[in-house]
Amino acid sequence: MTTDVDVVVLGLGPGGETVAAKLAKAGLSVVGIEARLVGGECPYYGCVPSKMMIAAAGTLAQARHVPQLAGAAQVQPDWAPVATRIREEATDDWDDTVAVERLESSGATFVRGTGTITGPGQVEVNGTTYAASRAVVVNTGTEPAIPPIDGLADTPYWTNRDVVQLTELPASLVVIGAGAIGAELAQVMARFGVQVTLLEVADRVLPPEEPEAGAMLQDAFVAEGMKVRTGVSISRVDHADGTFTVSLGDEQITADKLLVSAGRRSNLAGIGLEHMGADPEASTLETDERMRAGDRLWGIGDITGKGAFTHVSMYQADVAVRDILGEDGPWADYRAVARVTFTGPEVASVGLTEAQAREQGLDVRVASGDLGARGWLAKEEGLIKVVASDGVLVGATVVGSAGGEIMGMLATAIHARVPVETLLGMHYAYPTYHRAVESVLHDLD
Ligand SMILES: Cc1cc2nc3c(=O)[nH]c(=O)nc-3n(C[C@H](O)[C@H](O)[C@H](O)COP(=O)(O)OP(=O)(O)OC[C@H]3O[C@@H](n4cnc5c(N)ncnc54)[C@H](O)[C@@H]3O)c2cc1C
Ligand SMILES: NC(=O)c1ccc[n+]([C@@H]2O[C@H](COP(=O)([O-])OP(=O)(O)OC[C@H]3O[C@@H](n4cnc5c(N)ncnc54)[C@H](O)[C@@H]3O)[C@@H](O)[C@H]2O)c1
């Protein structure tokens, strides 16, 4: 059976859901296809439950800061309120009825199932072919990547999808991978009293970020009692009698549970991209500034490789919507992609790192400093680093409890190409955290 529509959206992560709803509201006939839950990884297994966990763990950390500044406080962690909030307030017990109703109320048709592109503009799901006259928008996202470590595949390891569903915590946990997922979840577990060992193959935690940021975060992890091992090579993983054993050559690390957070794999293979002229073997879907990936084909979200973040997926969704509706831009611009790893301290960054700016052959100036008066008042260590070229900022990193918020002004400066001279002429309220930006900018030359 074939049904004619204007647009098919394949995969309804944050971007796909946005595209489907906005195009339907604009009057197009839209079918949205989702194999699992409408909204994708972020609301059910990613950002939302993990940030609920982080808010709870951060509260414990604040209470533990009391002796340094204000006397004594007793802290008795309990996972039950976190598990309940995730179930009842965040995920509706992993039920997307509300999201499906929201989508359908926009006028879109929803189909639950695994869709496959079978020809130009044609997507098949559950035995029906939808023929799109205007666009197929692919937003199929990612799955946890499981590294090819001997023995690992045969063990009952966890991924982020298991950790967010926990009702009880283990006594001990090994975490493989200290990217954003590993760093955030490992610290939550540690703050709730789990004995955590974090293993990272690269020479530092959060390898894509500035080395100074990774070093500061690693120190914070160790100060909170986590074991952190960088530059490791895991030779084997075993599971017997309820215990995981992770072998680093001759050395063995044991724990009750194992979390694999070693990166993500794009859901591109097997979805039939070759029928619309795209490479089905590629790890990312190549898109232009309008998010076009071919004739009548658009791609958005993590699969585009432009930053695996909810806000990037939704930004790209808006670009694709404008293009499909025949509107003018603005088209996609990735100079000032902002990102925050919500650890304690937060690691927030925007634009290029110093190394990336140098690789691009830019005439680079850098400066860094601490959190100034506010950091001293709060007894808080932190870092602000800026990367400038030709009189404007091209990158910045902030490490601190309010790192993501301080980074906001730096993102504006990079996005709008505000000259450093102009930034130096503005007012910075005393004693805010962001006032430290001014001193760092003064050190640029
Ligand atoms: C633990 C964790 C924490 C995170 N925290 C943050 C954060 O704080 N901030 C942030 O910005 N980002 C965060 N992220 C990343 C964020 O979740 C993703 O960038 C975001 O979900 C955007 O993904 P997406 O739009 O590409 O699609 P996804 O959310 O991956 O959704 C894609 C959807 O497509 C469906 N699908 C796949 N193939 C098919 C098919 N053939 N047919 C039908 N449906 C299909 C899938 O079932 C899925 O629901 C986090 C991720 C994780 C795992
Ligand atoms: N706060 C946020 O915005 C947030 C939070 C979580 C995730 N995310 C997004 O999701 C993406 C995926 O996160 P992720 O942490 O899974 O991936 P990642 O690629 O960022 O990190 C994976 C880490 O695992 C390490 N690794 C890989 N194989 C290993 C091995 N065999 N042994 C030891 N270490 C190994 C890698 O070197 C890397 O540092 C992130 O890049 C980010 O874009 C964002």
Beta carbon of 121 within 6 Å of any ligand 1 atom:
no
pLDDT band at residue 136 using 50, 70 and 90 as cut-offs: very high
387 strand-pairing partners = 366, 395
Q: Is 437 helix (H, G, I), strand (E, B) or coil?
A: helix
What's the mean pLDDT in 133-143?
Answer: 98
What's the mean pLDDT in 149-175?
Answer: 98
For ligand 2, atom 2, the nearest C-alpha belongs to 341
Q: Is 7 helix (H, G, I), strand (E, B) or coil?
A: strand
pLDDT, averaged across the chain: 98
pLDDT band at residue 174 using 50, 70 and 90 as cut-offs: very high
The 10s digit of each residue's pLDDT in 329-369 is 999 999 999 999 999 999 999 999 999 999 999 999 999 99
What's the mean pLDDT in 248-254?
Answer: 96
299 strand-pairing partners = 138
For ligand 2, atom 43, the nearest C-alpha belongs to 308
- d(CA 439, CA 369) in angstroms, rounded, equals 8
Q: Which residues are annotated as a binding site?
A: 51, 115, 177-184, 200, 263, 302
pLDDT of residue 42: 98
What's the mean pLDDT in 274-284?
Answer: 92
In percent, how much of the chain has pLDDT > 70?
100
Beta carbon of 432 within 6 Å of any ligand 1 atom:
no
What's the mean pLDDT in 78-94?
Answer: 98
For ligand 2, atom 32, the nearest C-alpha belongs to 201
CA–centroid distance, 268 to ligand 1, in Å, is: 13
Beta carbon of 46 within 6 Å of any ligand 1 atom:
yes
pLDDT of residue 374: 97
Query: Chain centroid to CA 46: how far?
Result: 8
What's the mean pLDDT in 274-295?
Answer: 95
What's the mean pLDDT in 367-373?
Answer: 98
What ipTM, to 2 d.p.? 0.99
Decide if pLDDT at 214 tops 90.
yes
The 10s digit of each residue's pLDDT in 175-199 is 999 999 999 999 999 999 999 999 9
Decide if pLDDT at 17 tops 90.
yes
What's the mean pLDDT in 161-185?
Answer: 98
H helices of 123-281, where?
A: 160-163, 180-191, 211-223
- d(CA 436, CA 439) in angstroms, rounded, equals 5
Beta carbon of 382 within 6 Å of any ligand 1 atom:
no
pLDDT of residue 220: 98
pLDDT band at residue 425 using 50, 70 and 90 as cut-offs: very high
Query: Chain centroid to CA 209: how far?
Result: 13
Q: Is 24 helix (H, G, I), strand (E, B) or coil?
A: helix
H helices of 106-142, where?
A: none
Q: Determine the atom of ligand 2 nearest the C-alpha atom of 145.
A: 16
DSSP state of 370: -
pLDDT band at residue 11 using 50, 70 and 90 as cut-offs: very high
pLDDT of residue 411: 98
Q: Among residues 248, 169, 183, 249, which one has the least CA distance to residue 222?
A: 183
Decide if pLDDT at 445 tops 90.
no
Beta carbon of 271 within 6 Å of any ligand 1 atom:
yes
Instruction: Choose the residue to mutate in 130, 140, 306, 314 for probing ligand 1, maximizing ligand atoms within 8 Å of C-beta.
Output: 140
Provide the whole-model pTM.
0.98
CA–centroid distance, 201 to ligand 2, in Å, is: 11
pLDDT of residue 238: 98
Instruction: Choose the residue to mutate in 160, 209, 264 for probing ligand 2, maximizing ligand atoms within 8 Å of C-beta.
Output: 264
Please report which ligand is nearest the Cα atom of 404.
2
For ligand 1, atom 1, the nearest C-alpha belongs to 46
CA–centroid distance, 208 to ligand 2, in Å, is: 9
What's the mean pLDDT in 361-390?
Answer: 97
- Strand positions, DSSP E, 189-242: 195-200, 227-230, 236-240
What's the mean pLDDT in 108-122?
Answer: 97
